[in-house]
Amino acid sequence: MATISLSFRNSGKVKQVCRICRELRELKRDRLCAGCVRIKSQISVRFAEAVRGTVAIPAEQHCERRGCACAACDVRTLDSHPLYLFDLARAERREIHLHPRCHELWLEAVNGLNRGPEQGIDIG
């Protein structure tokens, strides 16, 4: 892993490459930058049932629409992206659109990789 010190620009803070977004940043926990840590935490809160494994995760699909709101970070999509269709109670359907970066964090969260003891709310 490459470590670069840009002490003349950032008061001695060491920057490394984030393992998800591949950006050169100061890393926080699990070798993730602050942005990826924030998104992974939001996934754990917003989709607690999926993270805990108490709801079945549907098969991943692909959405070709542009401008869908990413369920993890709330930013609009620009390209094709992963999509999950949850069939909830009372004949409701919930579409979960994710950027590729957010999708990697989603997969880690729902598969239990590097998961911390975070509290959350239900996806419904």
The total domain count for the chain is 1
**Has residue 5 been placed in a domain?**
no
Q: What is the pLDDT of residues 56-97, one digit of tens each?
A: 889 999 999 999 999 999 999 999 999 999 876 666 788 999
Q: Does a structural domain hold residue 25?
A: no
Q: Strand locations in the chain, DSSP E? A: 3-5, 14-17, 24-25, 61-63, 81-88, 92-97
The residue segments making up the domain with residue 53 are 34-111
The reported pLDDT for the residue numbered 35 is 95
- pTM exceeds 0.85 for this model: no
**Does residue 68 fall inside a structural domain?**
yes
In a domain, 2, yes or no: no
Position 76 in a domain:
yes
> Is 119 part of any domain?
no
